[in-house]
Amino acid sequence: MQAIQTKYLGPTNHRGSRVKATCAAGSVIVSWDYSLPNNIEENHRAAAYFLAVNKLKWDPWLKFANFETGQLADGSYVHVLRGEK
């Protein structure tokens, strides 16, 4: 397994806010979802989950709740999986 780091990408003249999720195996950019309850952290977690399940094809039964999330000094977030499914 790998840690996934996520970073906020602000809006531009052509795109809305986004989150980039990156790990050694690849990266994705996911549009910001304003409907998530804890808007900031949940958007970062959603991007990490999308990278893990949809792009990297990690366990499709992986539960969103199995991610532990922490914020780094530069404002980005890091996500790792807990052992249980």
Q: What's the pLDDT score for residue 67?
A: 82
pTM equals: 0.87
| 69 phi/psi in degrees, rounded to 5 | -125, 140
13-56 pLDDT tens trace: 999 999 999 999 999 999 999 999 888 999 999 999 999 988 98
Q: What's the pLDDT score for residue 58?
A: 81
In the chain the first and final C-alpha atoms are separated, in Å, by 14
Tokens 């999720």 — which residue?
21
